A and B are shown apart, each in its own frame.
Chain A
């Protein structure tokens, strides 16, 4: 027994020793991490900062057995890379006085043409000085224009950029249908080259925009359009980075001929599964190419398919003579293929694989986007649609075709919160830029307009957050803080004051007229910064002393057009974010004004007002009706007394179609 106890004691002590030894090794690691104080003081302060910058990623665990070897500290003084006189040497004065900047620019403009076009060398900015106007060439007789191209032309014609005067135009659009440049296609148009070169203002394509969905043909699908584009910009689907002229061409999505002109189908918005969980993890259903060029990825998909939550199906059936080329897997693939319904997969999967097909882009991309199925893009070299402005990493997983086998583990590593954000972003992008042909075309035009005047353009935030670039007009302001939409993301609040705009159409009668009472009541509000009276009355302006004296500045602006909609003109006098729009006969107390303003501060993107009205569907006359009756719900508040953001003045004047404005 004694011996046994001794043995026990010895083994316990040995175990303890071992543990202490390991523990000591662990501690030994710590000082190693901090024993490199050779950086001067200012670097150390930066080091801390850098940690903030990279905080999103966990610091790596150190491998205890292998101390990292560091770059040695040098003991002697090294030369700086830039000697004192270096910047002087970088002066054109010393080396080549003869090349003046103007000459250099001229040389550039001559060299960088065609394939190497950029805005500064191939675009005539002078044409855009009277604003960004788009001209469409008149169609020639006998032209066959595809339905899709007609939709594109219609959406331009209906946009606020359209002009019928070529001399005022900044951008020209061809009447010839260039969408389908596949020579085997029925919609292929012959003789485009001569047609284009005969245009009087072609000018080697300067300031022209050419739309294209399909280029090249079987078997190699080159990017050839069959005519020289010259200095014209290309808005092209399935753009390839190798041929894409950055910040000059525009990559557009491939959309089907069923894509609606205006009000596109809505997405499938539901956040019911938040945090998200869908039946399938990753799905794909599509063709596999036995001959000709095509995605190799699709041939390897069966390695990843697991029949459970990763459903990747391919079929060999396409073309007339597929059976001639069929391989050993075809029968089995085709059988699996027919067992699943595409729509069912699409709407019940978290991720959708979007591999390239014959060309780089595919219809599947928009379909997945619409279905809130996060696209997993495997299409090396594809310049993503509108990549100049859209941050696709917020809505898609961009993979590498070479790493197909990693895709399942990548998708599984995406956290549920991230999936929720990605999915909402797919819906935002779909709604904002892709849901209709008009949206796609307008986005294309807005991107070009942003380039024309770079200091009046949308930054990344305006393009990539709600409500999207098409509703955030940089001509109003390039500063996101001036819009009602971005207070939360910027961590700001709207200004604490408002401007009252009183719309007057009748003359000022006496000191007891309702408008005087109104002015006094509003001026007493502690949030009121100023009062602007918009004089839209045919009578002449009353003298200054007729107006009540107020503690806040009161200015009278004479309306120029005296129309109803001029009340929404973006007057420069309005300096506050909030506008209180008033009719002269509105009756309000100071308390009511204060309260409404406080409510508006909670909802700066909404109209907050007093008189409510609603619309209803009049089924007997099958049209909409308007009612001011007492109802249980409302859909409008009258701007006779309402708070809203001053940006809506700008939108009303510049965004609402002119026809609608004249009707008002």
Chain B
């Protein structure tokens, strides 16, 4: 609508100037518009018409309609797979390209059914439900592209999740037949059950050239670090069973073993542990008296007593995950789902997603040899840590184990992070559960540095037209030894600042910045003139502060450079009657804000205030001409998680005659407005970031019975 308004307003302006060429002009305009219309239409519908004629018949909905490919017996077999492959040797990074989104493009081959010369399929199951889920999740994701020429990673639609159902040689031939195979370069295979009897290799046995392998049972010898991806063995129970929410905490059993396929040597070892330590251990096995069937997978027994699986896992603090013939166990997924801390006994096993997940926070890894010491080792872990691990374990399941989609997308994200390492997800993003992400604070100024005294500070004075008061403030501040520069922000557009000759003579550079609009946020603009780390924000009517007080404030700031260090302290309170926050300026025992009418802070916060203030707070402040100081307190407290520091006992800052002008009623509306600010900001931040403290900073010898002239800061006002 906006655009059309523009058209019509431009129209009449043209009319008077129209002569004989008008006709040609309009005809041209009309035909251009028409052509544009046709062109877009073509663009829109052209690809559709192409697609409807492509090879993919699967849109009709049946896997069994997929085209049949007959593999000639003599078709080539890929090489076994090179153990020395790494991203920089076996992966063609040029295919991925530099793109601003830093996201790889993944192509999935259309589904085909491969059979050998005799018509026997290469796999006994064909496409499994899980692999179908995986491919469908990837194709729904942002990684997917249907343009094979733009793809960086290729995923065959040949299901190799379970090696047991595969014919190794024929599967390998099928892989080599893929049109873009090119020695497996940039191809990704997903496999959860590798190897087969009797020796159970820990990686997929299908020869696969240079293809990357997302494998579920890698050992440290088959895993190519930084190339392959260790993935979980998906447990079908994840989809079938919904476990009730269970908070971390002490549980009925201490250790639980629920796997049915444990070697008898290990089972004997576990039995012995149970004998020694009694009831807190529960050893379950499969139920012999129940009839075969799907229900069997959901039951476990101990001495004739039947337990529901996996529900029973929620009753234990630790759950044993022992290796079987394979290293990767689907039980790990069930255990995590139940929020039970897995005790992993599988030597040389590469834990799922270990490239990004910090398993020390969610599991206990014990060498198989030390199975007999398991009980003592686990007992040595404090309760609080166990609870933390329980929470972490459940979160890992939720985020990375719970579905084939989670597994597939996590794998792609890991590969993505390798190709664009500078845009990779951080450790915190991978490992912190949402509750920690919300509550944790990563201060942007985390390096504990005490800035040197020498550079001093820059005083930024916001003024409008109170020239006399301003000059008094300047004269006072100029006596502070560490003052490096004075910056006057002249916020009055109607009036020019006084002539240079009229300004008080000071020993430091004095600069006047004239602003375009009378906005409060001008005082927090990161002016280039501010060259020191420390900024003193001060109002033009704060004339009571002594130079000792200011110098002392600077010294305190140096000790706490990431905090607001100021003089007038304020508090926020929860008003129970109104059910909202209230602003408090009376004498209180606590402080949660310092007013930026006189406060030191790091100049980085100017940058944050101007460019990174959340929501519409900045505009709101400028519109209301109030609360810029509260906004600054919110910002600093939110990003550093730290309270401000009030220095010196002073309570009065303005001259008595100035405060007398403000009537009581004015004061009341002021308070209401300020309270409103706090409520508004709290809702924008989504939380109340302000921290309350009950202490302030005074000089070491303040009020001590000691000669005043020997004190560093003798002139500290008490009111």
Chain A residues at the B interface, C-beta cutoff of 8 Å: 3-5, 7-8, 10-12, 14-19, 21-22, 25, 36, 38-40, 42-43, 46-47, 49-50, 52-54, 56-60, 65-82, 84, 86-93, 95-96, 100-102, 105, 108, 112, 116, 118, 120, 125, 241-242, 246-247, 269-272, 274-275, 380-381, 391, 393-394, 397-403, 406, 409-410, 413-414, 416-417, 420-421, 424, 427-428, 454-455, 457-461, 464, 466, 477-479, 481-482, 488-492, 595, 598-599, 602, 612, 630-634
1/0 per residue, CB under 8 A from A, across B18-62: the answer is: 100011001001100110110010011001100100001011011
Interface: B684 (CB within 8 A): no
A39 to B132, CA, bound (A): 11
Among B23, B236, B294, contact of A82 (Cβ-Cβ < 8 Å): B236
> Shortest CB–CB separation between residue B90 and chain A, in angstroms?
12
Task: Give the chain B neighbours of A80 by CB distance below 8 A.
Answer: 128-130, 236
Give 10 A-B pairs besides A4-B18, A78-B129 with Cβ atoms closer than 8 angstroms. Answer: A43-B403, A59-B142, A80-B130, A82-B192, A84-B297, A91-B261, A112-B221, A272-B533, A602-B695, A632-B699
| Given A16-B4, A82-B162, A409:B384 Cβ within 8 A | no
Among B44, B128, B144, B358, contact of A79 (Cβ-Cβ < 8 Å): B128
Task: Give the chain B neighbours of A101 by CB distance below 8 A.
Answer: 263, 265-266, 368
Which residues of chain B (378-429) have a CB below 8 Å from chain A? Answer: 380-382, 384-385, 388, 398-399, 402-403, 405-406, 409, 413, 421-427, 429
A417 to B442, CA, bound (A): 12
Among A246, A401, A427, A464, contact of B88 (Cβ-Cβ < 8 Å): A401
1/0 per residue, CB under 8 A from A, across B434-445: the answer is: 111011111111
Contact, CB under 8 Å: B385 / A50 = no
Give the total of B residues in contact with A, Cβ under 8 Å: 167
> Shortest CB–CB separation between residue A626 and chain B, in angstroms?
17
Contact, CB under 8 Å: B3 / A100 = no
Contact, CB under 8 Å: A393 / B30 = no
> Shortest CB–CB separation between residue A481 and chain B, in angstroms?
7
A11 to B98, CA, bound (A): 43
1/0 per residue, CB under 8 A from A, across B124-151: the answer is: 0111111110011011101011100000
Contact, CB under 8 Å: A271 / B403 = no
Contact, CB under 8 Å: A274 / B603 = yes
Query: What are 30 A-B interface contacts by the 8 Å CB criterion?
Result: A7-B23, A7-B26, A21-B40, A50-B409, A69-B56, A70-B144, A71-B132, A71-B136, A72-B58, A76-B63, A78-B128, A81-B131, A81-B234, A84-B297, A92-B263, A95-B197, A96-B197, A241-B86, A246-B225, A272-B455, A381-B88, A394-B427, A398-B422, A400-B93, A416-B607, A417-B612, A455-B365, A479-B382, A481-B388, A482-B384
Task: Give the chain A neighbours of B293 by CB distance below 8 A.
Answer: 84
> Shortest CB–CB separation between residue A65 and chain B, in angstroms?
5
A53 to B607, CA, bound (A): 28
Contact, CB under 8 Å: B102 / A57 = yes
| Given A46-B405, A632-B711, A459:B358 Cβ within 8 A | yes
Interface: B550 (CB within 8 A): no
> Shortest CB–CB separation between residue A158 and chain B, in angstroms?
26
A437 to B364, CA, bound (A): 33
> Shortest CB–CB separation between residue A246 and chain B, in angstroms?
5
Contact, CB under 8 Å: B377 / A241 = no
| Given A79-B125, A91-B324, A391-B427, A489:B88 Cβ within 8 A | no
Contact, CB under 8 Å: A274 / B602 = yes
Interface: B586 (CB within 8 A): no
Interface: B613 (CB within 8 A): no
Task: Give the chain A neighbours of B701 by CB distance below 8 A.
Answer: 630-632
Contact, CB under 8 Å: A68 / B146 = yes
Contact, CB under 8 Å: A632 / B700 = yes
Task: Give the chain B neighbours of A52 by CB distance below 8 A.
Answer: 434
Interface: B317 (CB within 8 A): no
Contact, CB under 8 Å: B40 / A11 = no
| Given A455-B381, A632-B712, A633-B700, A12:B8 Cβ within 8 A | yes
Among A82, A246, A410, contact of B330 (Cβ-Cβ < 8 Å): A82
Interface: B532 (CB within 8 A): yes
Task: Give the chain B neighbours of A105 by CB distance below 8 A.
Answer: 347, 368-369
Q: Which of A3, A79, A247, A427 has the most C-beta atoms of chain B within 10 angstroms of its own C-beta? A: A79
Among B88, B139, B144, contact of A402 (Cβ-Cβ < 8 Å): B88
Among B220, B444, B449, B710, contact of A417 (Cβ-Cβ < 8 Å): B444
Which residues of chain B (343-396) have a CB below 8 Å from chain A? Answer: 347-348, 358, 360-361, 364-369, 377, 380-382, 384-385, 388
> Shortest CB–CB separation between residue B171 and chain A, in angstroms?
14
Smallest CB-CB separation from B421: which chain A residue?
A: A398
Smallest CB-CB separation from B59: which chain A residue?
A: A72
Task: Give the chain B neighbours of A3 by CB distance below 8 A.
Answer: 23
1/0 per residue, CB under 8 A from A, across B477-503: the answer is: 000000000000000000000000000
A413 to B44, CA, bound (A): 33
| Given A79-B129, A424-B447, A428-B447, A595:B8 Cβ within 8 A | no
A79 to B161, CA, bound (A): 12
Contact, CB under 8 Å: B4 / A19 = yes
Which residues of chain B (604-621) have a CB below 8 Å from chain A? Answer: 604, 607, 612
| Given A53-B399, A414-B422, A421-B444, A241:B226 Cβ within 8 A | yes
Contact, CB under 8 Å: B261 / A477 = no
Contact, CB under 8 Å: A49 / B399 = yes
Task: Give the chain B neighbours of A19 by CB distance below 8 A.
Answer: 3-4
A90 to B261, CA, bound (A): 7
Instruction: Across the A-B interface, give the 3 residue pairs with the lowest CB-CB distance, nearest first.
Output: A491-B439, A91-B261, A71-B139
A50 to B413, CA, bound (A): 12
Task: Give the chain B neighbours of A454 by CB distance below 8 A.
Answer: 360, 365-366
A53 to B61, CA, bound (A): 31
Interface: B11 (CB within 8 A): yes
Interface: B84 (CB within 8 A): yes
A454 to B405, CA, bound (A): 31
Contact, CB under 8 Å: B62 / A10 = no
Contact, CB under 8 Å: B264 / A93 = yes
Interface: B159 (CB within 8 A): yes
Task: Give the chain B neighbours of A47 by CB distance below 8 A.
Answer: 405
Task: Give the chain B neighbours of A7 by CB distance below 8 A.
Answer: 22-23, 26
> Shortest CB–CB separation between residue B421 and chain A, in angstroms?
4
Contact, CB under 8 Å: A93 / B261 = yes
Interface: B466 (CB within 8 A): no
A351 to B116, CA, bound (A): 56
Smallest CB-CB separation from A467: which chain B residue?
A: B448
Task: Give the chain B neighbours of A43 by CB distance below 8 A.
Answer: 403, 405
A118 to B140, CA, bound (A): 41
Task: Give the chain A neighbours of B239 by CB distance below 8 A.
Answer: 40, 42
> Shortest CB–CB separation between residue B215 and chain A, in angstroms?
14
A380 to B226, CA, bound (A): 12
Contact, CB under 8 Å: B441 / A459 = no
Smallest CB-CB separation from B130: which chain A residue?
A: A81
Q: Which of B7, B297, B447, B642 has the most C-beta atoms of chain A within 10 angstroms of its own C-beta? A: B447
> Shortest CB–CB separation between residue B107 and chain A, in angstroms?
11
Among B30, B193, B441, B603, contact of A90 (Cβ-Cβ < 8 Å): B193
Interface: B587 (CB within 8 A): no
1/0 per residue, CB under 8 A from A, across B80-122: the answer is: 0000101011000110001011110000100000000000000
Smallest CB-CB separation from B34: which chain A residue?
A: A14
A409 to B347, CA, bound (A): 44
| Given A54-B413, A247-B220, A479:B62 Cβ within 8 A | no
| Given A4-B15, A80-B130, A409:B98 Cβ within 8 A | yes
> Shortest CB–CB separation between residue A368 and chain B, in angstroms?
16
Smallest CB-CB separation from A398: which chain B residue?
A: B421
> Shortest CB–CB separation between residue B366 and chain A, in angstroms?
7
Interface: B164 (CB within 8 A): yes
A77 to B93, CA, bound (A): 38
> Shortest CB–CB separation between residue A634 and chain B, in angstroms?
6
Contact, CB under 8 Å: A630 / B704 = yes
Contact, CB under 8 Å: A466 / B93 = no
> Shortest CB–CB separation between residue A356 and chain B, in angstroms?
12
> Shortest CB–CB separation between residue B453 and chain A, in angstroms?
12
